[in-house]
Amino acid sequence: MRSNSDYYDEHQRPPAWTCTTTSVADGAGGLSPLKRRRTRSLNAPSPVQQFGPCGRIMKTSALITTIQDPASQRLTWYKNPLTVLVIKKVRDMSVLPPFIELVRWLIQEKSMIVFVEHSVMEDTMLSSNSGFMEVREKLNSFQDGKDDLTDKIDFIICLGGDGTLLYASLLFQQSVPPVMAFHLGSLGFLTPFKFDNFQQQVTNVLEGHAALTLRSRLRCIIVRKNEDKEKPQPNLLVLNEVVIDRGPSPYLSNIDLFLDGKYITSVQGDGLIVSTPTGSTAYAVAAGASMIHPSVPAIMVTPICPHSLSFRPIVVPAGVELKIMLSPDARSTAWVSFDGRNQQELCADDSLRVTTSIFSLPSICAQDQISDWFDSLAECLHWNVRKRQKHFEELSDLAHSKYEDSLNSTSKDTLLVTD
């Protein structure tokens, strides 16, 4: 087994990072040292056009002035992808055979350098598999929270459900390599690929024949009351939503909501969901929000069980900044979670800042941006499924058939009485 350091001693290559946006990049500490205000747009921050060391959006002709439709973006490689990170669903034995088959094929047939989590190398179920042991020494491992994967991975393959894709988003807090997600979990809204024909599907992606859905992420910063406001604050990017709720408190949450510094309203209820268009089909839709296509630049604000009949979910432009604080007369603190993880307490005079990040997650489509989304709505959420209403000809035929059956029944009864 080789570590990251062993791999980069043998395959050192300079980072291929470029940024085509004029906005200040989302650094690990929030705003850049230049202290410039991030350029805002009523539509959305311009997303970075490069994903990992060698994936980027295909450019249109320089002779034509166009505004690229987010639903028409496609992946291209400016050099052949070399490294792939394979992430499998944890605590699920049914994923092990596909995982072994995939990594063996990537190493033996495609000669790729495969990265896996360190826990995979220590999995006792995998260690007893002869097929896995054949390629185990050729795998490279990493440890979450210790090893930096930025500019080291060309693309990602996820085996599992939507939670596996959310974990991949958590691993890459800046630029994310293109993600190819296979549906091997319980919910497959974000995982459009079937594993049956994975060889052909992965080959198509490696050859650059793939559509991309750029899934926007939210940049979240908690500013503490007693911390230096001039000091850069750590931020966290979320793919689905950030949730502010009352936690274990028996009292209603009392939260003030600001938009670009302007006070909007106070939220009294169980809490508030701030979600991306991708997250609109998750917790938000369960709380009564609408479903938004991931290519739409927007931020959705959804109350959780509000103590008001008129508080409905709202959609705001993706370029604004939301500030969320406890109201001065709040009876208790609030709790914040990011994609269901990293729960933190929000105390009096603390604030949560949320805006759209320039680092979106490039999700590879099985068909295209539109078909994948509507197929997921139909298959996973059974959207608009109902028994169809009969048209008039069917009703007429049905009535005529019942009338004939009634006549036949009457005739039989008459014959029996006569006999």
In the structure encoding, which two tokens stand for residue 418, read together? Answer: 């006569």
Q: CA-based Rg of the chain, rounded to a whole angstrom? A: 26
Q: What is the 3-state secondary structure (H, E, C) of 43-85?
A: CCCCCCCEECCCEEECCCCCCCCCCCCHHHCEEEECCCCCEEE
**What are the two backbone dihedrals, phi and then psi, of residue 127, each rounded to the nearest 5 degrees?**
-65, -25
Quick one: 88 exposed, middle or buried, by C-beta within 10 A (0-12, 13-18, 19+)?
A: buried
Short-list 145, 138, 193, CA closest to 167: 145
Of 26, 162, 245, 350, which residue is the catalytic one? 162
Closest Cα to residue 300, out of 350, 261, 31, 288?
A: 288
Residues 212 and 74 sit within 8 Å (Cβ to Cβ): yes
Write the CA distances from 390 to 381, 382, 387, 396, 406, integer angstroms: 24, 21, 9, 10, 22
- Rounded to whole angstroms, how far apart are CA atoms 309 and 35? 42
Residue at token pair 């496609």: 74
Q: Is the dihedral of CA 304, 344, 221, 177 positive or negative?
A: negative
DSSP H/E element including 85: strand 83-88
Alpha-helix runs per DSSP H in 93-250: 96-108, 118-121, 124-127, 130-135, 162-171, 198-206
Query: How far apart, in whole angstroms, are the C-alpha atoms of residue 218 and residue 236?
Result: 8
162 included as an active-site residue = yes
Letter for the amino acid at 266?
S
Record the tokens describing residue 26, joined without a space.
Answer: 């989302």
User: What are the two backbone dihedrals, phi and then psi, of residue 104, each rounded to the nearest 5 degrees?
Assistant: -65, -45
DSSP codes joined into one string, 371-384: HHHHHHHHHHS-TT
> What amino acid positions are annotated as catalytic residues?
162
